[in-house]
């Protein structure tokens, strides 16, 4: 491709609305443009990246027995009403009416459509297992679209769905996808960590996420990882052993309301009462599907909202507003406590349940209660783990200590069980003619998110450094001065030879200064740069430089194809 004939609108200046380096680079490199919040247009270079990554995904999915199909984005609400997700997915689901007043949705995922497709058509165990996948646009009205392609409202996903007759066979299907995922990400130049995850709105029990660990601020997810036994889980799900257990009193003491002027936060209360945060209990008020919930965790820990949401079976969970806190506790924020609390669901963490003589808010301004005891002074609707695991917590599996890492979720796999097949009547007959619901799995990969995620790892001060597998072009040729006949002729020959050899080549044929071309080449990040200049050419040489290294190698003009072929083997 010739630069003069394509569209690569690079930008000099940093873009103020891009917080992440990857987002910044895609905008500045002329890869994407924003249309509206969470909605992006993919320009020619991005289109090539998407195609490269999709090709890898297709090849590996096909090799794993997947069959590619395309399902519609628009779907009648009815199918989603049957599984209940029309109401349970929440505001992320885009709902609308067509001209006939039929309720429709824009799919953010396709379990309903695909199950509906096979229900009644796949009848016998002989037709199973089956794996159907697609690479297609998804819509989700994300609460916080941000970070460019990382969290869009419209984005591209590879979604696969497996159908099996037995649990054993479903496990095999699941493992095939896991293996394919590792190959896919490796070919894209990415080392990923498979972690246990919360299955959330998907239903089912076993779920994993594939995380790209990053050192930048681009990681939206926190992962707890035990280096000893390799347990790894998303913070949303991670369980832990508490290594910071405070001493527990042997006797319960009389409780007592005490004045705590100007002390509302945990720090202020520990300071004022001269007690450790591990002797305090935090009471946080949430709204779970519009019903108030009080969540109690030890003073030194935080509430895990995913665990809490699961504990109370809520679809939407939000912190109560200060006004709601006042309404339910009769006190300003900072003084909530479980004693005497009415009309709220009370969820107590096991770390709180084992404490004695602790401090809680008194549901009155500037007052706390000391020597409070669970069961004696208040009861819980549920005692369940709602604490967030943190760096340094003990591993629940072994004696190791867990480390917290930051990562980007690039893909995930879910064992769905029979939630969708039962709701949509997708059944098969076994060899005795007995009917069973089909056992399902679903498997997603972010086709637009993953390449941007890669850029949180592959960049330097000058721009992008694409891994070979998903680079829009492998080689960029920079002729330094196209007015010189010999440079123009040599560039043309090299460009054609590399193209004929099957490499993807971009030639910067613009009448720009060398500096501009070099800056743009660094910014857009093709793995191999070939510079054709007067001086070297007089010796019948051209200069080859990898984007990932500063070293410049001089190569004979007629050896360039061979050289590129060799170099590619050494690149990620
Ligand atoms: P997240 O927790 O990041 O919201 P998710 O659990 O909703 O992701 P899935 O519904 O399983 O993700 O989607 C499969 C894959 O699609 C994800 O692993 C991710 O790579 C990608 N993806 C999900 N939501 C978005 C989005 N809003 N923008 C871009 N890619 C997304
Ligand atoms: Mg999501």
Same domain (yes/no): 337, 420: no
Nearest to 27 by CA among 36, 521, 37, 17: 17
Residue 200 lies in a domain: no
Last residue of a domain, one of 334, 364, 383: 383
CA angle (330 as vertex; 337, 281 as ends), nearest 5: 10
Report the distance separating Cα 181 and Cα 499, nearest Å.
Answer: 30
Residue 438 lies in a domain: yes
Residues of the domain holding 371: 256-383
Peptide bond into 129 cis (omega under 30): yes
Residue 357 lies in a domain: yes
- Looking at residue 268, its pLDDT comes to 93
Counting atoms of ligand 1 from 1, which one is nearest the CA of 210? 18
| 245: its two tokens | 């257990």
Give the number of the ligand closest to the Cα of residue 449: 1
Same domain (yes/no): 446, 477: no
Kindly give the confidence (pLDDT) of every residue in the chain, 572 residues in length, as a single tens digit, with 9 standing for 90 and above. Answer: 999 999 999 999 999 989 999 999 999 999 999 999 999 999 999 999 999 999 999 999 999 999 999 999 999 999 999 999 999 888 999 999 999 999 999 999 999 999 999 998 999 999 999 999 999 999 999 999 999 999 999 999 999 999 999 999 999 999 999 999 999 999 999 999 999 998 865 555 789 999 999 999 999 999 999 999 999 999 999 999 999 888 899 999 999 999 999 888 999 999 999 999 999 999 999 999 999 999 999 999 999 999 999 999 998 899 999 999 999 999 999 999 999 999 999 999 999 999 999 999 999 999 999 999 999 999 999 999 999 999 999 999 999 999 999 999 999 999 999 999 999 999 999 999 999 999 999 999 999 999 999 999 999 999 999 999 999 999 999 999 999 999 999 999 999 999 999 999 999 999 999 999 999 999 999 999 999 999 999 999 999 999 999 999 999 999 999 999 999 999 98
Same domain (yes/no): 432, 355: no
Same domain (yes/no): 114, 177: yes
Report whether 128 contacts 164 (CB < 8 A): yes
Same domain (yes/no): 29, 107: yes
Residue 316's CATH number: 3.90.960.10
Same domain (yes/no): 126, 265: no
Last residue of a domain, one of 383, 407, 427: 383
Same domain (yes/no): 152, 77: yes
Same domain (yes/no): 34, 153: yes
Residue 3 lies in a domain: no
- Looking at residue 316, its pLDDT comes to 86
Same domain (yes/no): 422, 304: no
Report the distance separating Cα 538 and Cα 35, nearest Å.
Answer: 49
Residue 102 lies in a domain: yes
Distance 518 CA to ligand 1 centre (A): 36
Distance 391 CA to ligand 1 centre (A): 25
Measured from CB, residues less than 6 Å from any atom of ligand 1 are 109, 140, 142, 151-152, 155, 157, 409-412, 444, 446, 448-449
- Looking at residue 562, its pLDDT comes to 97
Q: Is 130 helix (H, G, I), strand (E, B) or coil?
A: strand
Distance 395 CA to ligand 1 centre (A): 27
Q: What are phi and psi of 130, to 5 degrees?
A: -140, 140
DSSP code per residue over 220-240: -EEEEE-TTT--EEETTT---
Residue 224 lies in a domain: no
Minimum CA distance residue for ligand 1 atom 8: 409
- Report the relative pairing of strands 403-417 and 256-259 from DSSP bridges: unpaired
Same domain (yes/no): 434, 517: no
Residue 245 lies in a domain: no
Distance 27 CA to ligand 2 centre (A): 23
Residue 35 lies in a domain: yes
Distance 120 CA to ligand 1 centre (A): 30
Residue 531's CATH number: 3.40.50.800
Same domain (yes/no): 43, 184: yes
Rounded-to-10 torsion of CA 275, 276, 277, 282: -30
- Looking at residue 88, its pLDDT comes to 87
Report whether 312 contacts 305 (CB < 8 A): no
Please list the helix, strand and coil fractions of the chain in percent, rounded to the nearest 5, in that order.
30, 30, 40
Give the number of the ligand closest to the Cα of residue 90: 2
DSSP code per residue over 46-59: HHHHHHHHHHHHHH
Last residue of a domain, one of 383, 398, 423: 383
Same domain (yes/no): 172, 293: no
Domains contained in the chain, number: 3
Nearest to 220 by CA among 159, 293, 143: 143
Residue 177's CATH number: 3.30.930.10
Report the distance separating Cα 491 and Cα 480, nearest Å.
Answer: 10
Report the distance separating Cα 568 and Cα 549, nearest Å.
Answer: 14
| 341: its two tokens | 């609390």
């Amino acid at each position: 491709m010739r630069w003069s004939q394509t569209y690569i609108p690079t930008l000099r200046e940093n873009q103020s609305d891009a917080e992440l380096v990857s987002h910044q680079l895609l905008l500045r490199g002329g890869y994407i443009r924003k249309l509206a919040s969470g909605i992006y247009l993919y320009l020619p270079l991005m289109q090539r990246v998407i195609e490269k990554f999709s090709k890898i995904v297709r090849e590996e999915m096909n090799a794993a027995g997947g069959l590619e199909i395309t399902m519609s984005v628009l779907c009648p609400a009815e199918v989603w009403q049957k599984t209940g997700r029309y109401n349970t997915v929440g505001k992320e689901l885009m709902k609308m009416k067509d001209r006939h007043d039929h309720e429709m949705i824009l799919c953010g995922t396709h379990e309903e459509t695909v199950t509906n497709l096979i229900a009644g058509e796949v009848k016998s165990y002989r037709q199973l297992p089956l794996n159907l996948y697609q690479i297609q646009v998804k819509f989700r009205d994300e609460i916080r679209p941000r970070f460019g392609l990382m969290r869009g409202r419209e984005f591209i996903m590879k979604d696969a769905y497996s159908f099996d007759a037995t649990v054993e066979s479903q496990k095999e299907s699941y493992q095939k996808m896991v293996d394919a995922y590792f190959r896919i990400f490796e070919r894209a130049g990415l080392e990923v960590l498979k972690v246990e995850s919360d299955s959330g709105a998907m239903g089912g029990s076993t779920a994993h996420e594939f995380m790209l660990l990053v050192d930048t601020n681009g990681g939206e997810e926190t992962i707890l990882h035990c280096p000893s036994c390799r347990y790894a889980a998303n913070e949303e799900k991670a369980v832990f052993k508490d290594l910071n257990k405070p001493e527990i009193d042997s006797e319960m003491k009389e409780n007592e309301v005490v004045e705590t002027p100007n002390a509302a936060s945990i720090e202020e209360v520990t300071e004022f009462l001269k007690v450790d945060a591990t002797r305090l209990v935090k009471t946080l008020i949430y709204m779970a599907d519009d019903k108030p919930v009080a969540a109690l965790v030890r003073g030194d820990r935080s509430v895990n909202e995913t665990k809490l949401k699961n504990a109370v079976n809520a679809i939407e969970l939000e912190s109560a507003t200060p006004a709601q806190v006042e309404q339910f506790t009769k006190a300003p924020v900072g003084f909530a406590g479980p004693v005497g609390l009415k009309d709220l669901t009370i969820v107590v963490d096991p770390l709180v349940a084992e404490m004695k003589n602790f401090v809680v808010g008194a549901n009155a301004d500037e007052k706390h209660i000391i020597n409070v005891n669970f069961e004696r002074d208040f009861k819980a609707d549920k005692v369940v783990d709602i604490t967030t695991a943190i760096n340094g917590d003990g591993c629940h599996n072994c004696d190791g200590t867990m480390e917290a890492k930051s990562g980007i979720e690039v893909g995930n796999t879910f064992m769905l069980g029979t939630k969708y097949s039962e709701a949509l009547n997708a059944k098969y007959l076994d060899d005795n003619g007995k009917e069973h619901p089909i056992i399902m799995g679903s498997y997603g990969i972010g086709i637009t998110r993953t390449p941007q995620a890669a850029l949180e790892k592959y960049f330097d001060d000058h721009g992008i450094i694409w891994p070979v597998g998903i680079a829009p072009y492998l080689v960029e040729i920079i002729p330094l001065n196209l007015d010189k006949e010999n440079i123009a002729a040599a560039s043309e020959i090299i460009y054609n030879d590399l193209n004929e050899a099957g490499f993807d080549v971009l030639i910067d044929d613009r009448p720009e200064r060398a500096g501009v071309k070099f800056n743009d080449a660094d910014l857009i990040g093709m793995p191999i740069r070939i510079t054709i200049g007067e001086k070297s050419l007089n010796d019948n040489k051209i200069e080859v430089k990898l984007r990932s290294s500063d070293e410049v190698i001089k190569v004979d003009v007629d050896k360039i194809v061979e050289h590129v072929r060799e170099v590619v083997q050494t690149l990620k």
